[in-house]
Amino acid sequence: MQISSKEDYFKAWQEASENPENFWSKVASEYQWKKPWESVQSGNFTDVNIKWFDGATLNITENCLDRHLQERPDKTAVIWEPNGVDEKEITYTYKELHAEVCRFANVLKDQGIRKGDRVVFYMSMVPELLTGVLACARLGAVHSVVFAGFSAQALAGRIKDCEAKMVITCDESYRGAKTTPLKEITDEALKDCGSIEKVLIRVRTGASVPMKEGRDIELLPLLKEASPHCDAVEVAAEDPLFILYTSGSTGTPKGLLHTTGGYMVWAGFTFENVFQMQDDDIYWCTADIGWITGHSYITYGPLLKGATTVMFEGVPTYPEADRFWQVVDKYKVTHFYTAPTAIRALEACDIELVKRHDLSSLKVLGSVGEPINDEAWQWYHKEIGKENCPIVDTWWQTETGGIMISSLAGVTESISTYATYPLPGVIPQLLDSEANVIDDKSGEGNLCISKPWPGMARTIWGNHERYKETYFSAYKGKYFTGDGSKRDESGRYRITGRVDDVINVSGHRIGTAEVEDALNEHHHVIESAVVGFPHDIKGQGIYAYVICNNGKAPTSEEEQENFKKELNAVITKIIGPIAKPDQVQFVSGLPKTRSGKIMRRILRKIAAKDISNLGDISTLLNPEVVEEIKKGAGL
């Protein structure tokens, strides 16, 4: 169902709100189901037992692939652009992609993977990451992609949590000028993971890697031998499709579980309406499949809609900081979807790097992952879009499965820094500090969603109580997003950022508690507190306040630098380099309330170098420490 005017958008939103059964059964009927549903939606946010299209059966890959074989077998489905400019791209038509996915599914089957088994992918952006997740879906196996920047320990934690049977990795990855030894990291992780029976290795760099007899097998030779036919396994709409781990404000990462039918309908519907593609358009989302954006808007959304999707292995700055623009020019990309952090980083480079490429193919620009500041928005609009391309600022989360609030390209207006309107089916509410719904048209508060939508995660793998507690306990009967938002007189939303202890570093979501736990593993650290602070390129940076054991605090600048290196090594080992602090301040204490709670608000202000309105600190357990911390921060 493509919405093509603003009037239609309002009508669709109204209908989806008032008569969701009718609306979603119309949208869902565009897909192939093996058995129809008995009910469109059931369950509620009080019992937290949401189901969509219950009773129906399907296979999502038939909708991504087989369905297109009649109408567009020779249309390019995927263009894979390698890391290096000298290497040739690989393209797959829908027919070829179908065959590749079937081959991969046959390999998985031969290696013992069956419906319901969990398969972890720890790969860089090679084509087999995309075909591999689809191959799992073809068999009804559950994929869980772990971003290839995570450490062995982080990988092991995820493998153990979902009790995966198989890991698929590369020998090494290419990313810019760097290679990362993914197989070596996997081996390290697997020392401690009993559930893994097989490891498939996709050779990418050709590095020599140890192979464990009976466990490790090279992937490409198996694919070559495999049959390109594989029947799609029939699964229930509510059967698991994938698990994706993400950070929260407390505890270990959560494995959000997405199920099949509702996710499919949501990914397809949101892709179609937000991006508004024409049949011969070329779409490029620069995310990594290790994150939700790469699941919904490199893989499932575009393929469900028969689009051509570009998949890029490299980084925006390699071999030079014009790579994005060079690739847009090379493939005549029409729809370009990236993160504000990339925009800011490229904005800081010489404008000649943009000007040397022809960007006239572009029609629509997108932004995702964090709030986009006005300056970056204007630069994107002017220098990349040449003031001709609507910008869709898409707000959503790993938990939501797909875009929730965004303009629809060329259909509803784009406004700098505003995600603008909720998609049909999304009923946002703003709540004030007393948990009252803000009824006025405009306002500011905590952002909740009051009704179920098809793409929402159904649970946290293995821990439904935690799911309920995390998302549905702050405001009874509502899904709490963890974000704050403003709303203007016209009902348009402007997301202001997280209101919980989650920070968004270069669009990567990092729980402060996770970083603290990792820092505390250092044998000379007694306690730490981690907060976000404004960062010109990353959006938010990580600021760590660290208390050392008696007599172990580094004093000279050199000692401090060495200690910081050790802390970075601990973080890299436990989480991965993405969680390394940008700033570390050694302190003798942390401001605490009399009940022992760390006053993060004060720490956030000091990290932001803003010491106005620190509030009444006299009631703290240790008010004197605030002065010391201010001084240590140079304030």
Chain positions contacting ligand PRX, by CB under 6 A: 246, 292-293, 367-371, 393-398, 419, 481-483, 495, 497-498, 504, 509
CB 438 within 8 A of CB 424: no
Q: What's the closest the beta carbon of residue 494 comes to ligand PRX, in angstroms?
A: 9
- Structure token pair of residue 76: 């390019």
Nearer to ligand PRX, 111 or 293 (CB): 293
3-state secondary structure string across 62-124: HHHCHHHCCCCCCCEEEEEECCCCCCCCEEEEHHHHHHHHHHHHHHHHHCCCCCCCEEEEECC
Q: What's the closest the beta carbon of residue 369 comes to ligand PRX, in angstroms?
A: 5
Closest CA to 143 of 132, 154, 158, 156: 132
Nearer to ligand PRX, 56 or 403 (CB): 403
CB 413 within 8 A of CB 420: yes
3-state secondary structure string across 530-586: EEEEEECCCEEEEEEEEEECCCCCCCCHHHHHHHHHHHHHHHHHHCCHHHCCCEEEE
Q: What's the closest the beta carbon of residue 395 comes to ligand PRX, in angstroms?
A: 4
Burial label for 573, CB within 10 Å (0-12, 13-18, 19+), is: middle
Closest CA to 303 of 105, 134, 486, 477: 134
Angle formed at CA 185 by CA 179 and CA 189, multiple of 5 degrees = 165
CB 35 within 8 A of CB 57: yes
Nearer to ligand PRX, 306 or 491 (CB): 491
Nearer to ligand PRX, 61 or 276 (CB): 276
Q: How far apart are the first and last CA of the chain?
A: 56
Nearer to ligand PRX, 253 or 316 (CB): 253
Nearer to ligand PRX, 52 or 418 (CB): 418
Q: What's the closest the beta carbon of residue 207 comes to ligand PRX, in angstroms?
A: 31
Nearer to ligand PRX, 59 or 398 (CB): 398
Nearer to ligand PRX, 9 or 396 (CB): 396
What's the rounded Cα separation, in Å, for the pair 261 and 37? 10
Nearer to ligand PRX, 334 or 540 (CB): 540
CB 362 within 8 A of CB 328: yes
600-607 and 624-632 helices cross at what angle (nearest 10)?
20
Residue linked to tokens 């290679």: 179
Angle formed at CA 282 by CA 334 and CA 337, multiple of 5 degrees = 60
Nearer to ligand PRX, 371 or 581 (CB): 371
- Structure token pair of residue 402: 């797909």
Q: What's the closest the beta carbon of residue 125 comes to ligand PRX, in angstroms?
A: 16
Residue number with the smallest Cβ distance to ligand PRX: 398
Residue linked to tokens 């038509």: 93
Q: Rounded to an integer, what is the distance from CA 491 to the centroid of its chain?
A: 26
Q: What's the closest the beta carbon of residue 197 comes to ligand PRX, in angstroms?
A: 30
| Whole-angstrom Cα Rg for the chain | 24
Q: What's the closest the beta carbon of residue 150 comes to ligand PRX, in angstroms?
A: 14
Q: What's the closest the beta carbon of residue 247 comes to ligand PRX, in angstroms?
A: 8
Query: How many CB atoms are located within 10 Å of the residue 500 CB?
Result: 18
Q: What's the closest the beta carbon of residue 248 comes to ligand PRX, in angstroms?
A: 10
Q: What's the closest the beta carbon of residue 143 comes to ligand PRX, in angstroms?
A: 17
- At residue 12, the 3 state secondary structure works out as helix
Question: Residue 97 to residues 80, 202, 332: CA-CA distances in angstroms?
Answer: 12, 17, 21
**Furthest-apart CA pair in the chain: how many Å?**
73
Q: What's the closest the beta carbon of residue 147 comes to ligand PRX, in angstroms?
A: 10
Nearer to ligand PRX, 125 or 625 (CB): 125
Nearer to ligand PRX, 233 or 256 (CB): 256
Q: What's the closest the beta carbon of residue 28 comes to ligand PRX, in angstroms?
A: 23
